[in-house]
Amino acid sequence: MRGHTGVTSHLILRGRGTTAHFEGRSVLLEQNGTHRHIPVRAIQEVRAAGARGDRAEIELTSAGGDPTVFVVTRSSPAAVTAFVSAVTSALPERRAPRDGMELVSEETSAAPAWRLFLTRHSGAVAAAVCAVVLWAALVVYVAATGEPGQWLMPLFGALILLAAGRYLQLAGGIMRDHWSTRRNGITVAATSAGRNSARKEIWRFTDAEGRARTYVGSGKIVSRDPRRIEVRYDPRHPDKLYAPQPVLVYVVVGVVVTPMLAGLLAMGVWLTLWQLVDVLMG
């Protein structure tokens, strides 16, 4: 009977991509990352549907237009029957003729970090997967048709290429921050505030909005009393900080690191692709 005031057990109805929790005076609906709190006074009817009765439909009240209906599909018919019975017994006898969605509160949970990464870097992830598949095929082919132990060389080559690629990624990020903050950034003087547990120097400054900020790392010294460096940040991406480095750092990178990196890339390619060429020509 509707209007029942007794204690109703907490029911959970799980379906395909949707879960409904009934807690006596409301239904909590989790669907596609969105959490909806639906009070019973916003519900017009709850019914079982589908040929097997494995679908629950939650119809909200309306002000004369088409009502909103939430659906929980592919659930247990017995669970749907129990859910419909429990929610129906809790519905008030009288409900205002209003749009039930006005009483529903929604909250969208943040997507997992791995999902955000895949979404933002879908092209890079697809390229990486293709590269791994091709590399695995290369190793198998060399192992099957090459000299004994020759298949180990592509393994070492892949490790070298990964190390070089990681360095290129880090260097690319630094250069990107350098140019973006130079074009669109704000430069401030940050004052030394000691070192952290990793012995990295801490620099503090106040940005244009008056917020206290911290930069950890090294930079070009512009003042020694007090000890200060320049720090740049982009107002559009305030969490990305960049500190210009002494000229010697750029010289070392250009004269020493760049040729070494080129050598590693060449060695990695030789240990991987050249082994395939050697097997094909042999």
CA distance 185 to 178: 9
Which of 149, 150, 230, 220 minimizes the C-alpha distance to 191?
Answer: 230
Q: What angle do the packed helices 122-145 and 113-120 form, to 10 degrees? A: 90
51: pLDDT strictly greater than 50: yes
- Reported as a single tens digit per residue, the pLDDT across 67-116 is 999 999 989 999 999 999 999 999 998 888 899 999 999 887 666 767 76
Report residue 224 as tokens.
């020694």
CA distance 221 to 175: 20
Which of 65, 100, 94, 83 minimizes the C-alpha distance to 18?
Answer: 83
One-character DSSP codes across 121-172: THHHHHHHHHHHHHHHHHHHHHHHHS-TTTTHHHHHHHHHHHHHHHHHHHHH
What does each C-alpha distance from 150 to 19, 134, 139, 161, 190 come to in angstroms? 54, 17, 9, 18, 54
Reported as a pLDDT band with limits 50, 70 and 90, residue 282 is low
- Reported as a single tens digit per residue, the pLDDT across 113-147 is 677 667 677 777 787 788 778 778 877 877 777 77
CA distance 124 to 219: 31
What does each C-alpha distance from 236 to 177, 240, 242 come to in angstroms? 12, 9, 14
Q: What is the DSSP code (8-state) at residue 257?
A: I
- Reported as a single tens digit per residue, the pLDDT across 206-221 is 988 888 889 998 888 9
- Reported as a single tens digit per residue, the pLDDT across 233-259 is 888 777 788 898 888 877 777 777 788
Cβ(235)–Cβ(208) below 8 Å: yes
Q: Higher confidence at residue 62 or residue 111?
A: 62
- Reported as a single tens digit per residue, the pLDDT across 27-40 is 999 987 789 999 99
Q: Global pTM?
A: 0.43
Q: Which of 12-16, 176-180, 264-268 has the lowest mean pLDDT?
A: 176-180
Token pair 């250009």 in the structure block, residue: 254
CA distance 250 to 247: 5
pLDDT, position 7: 45
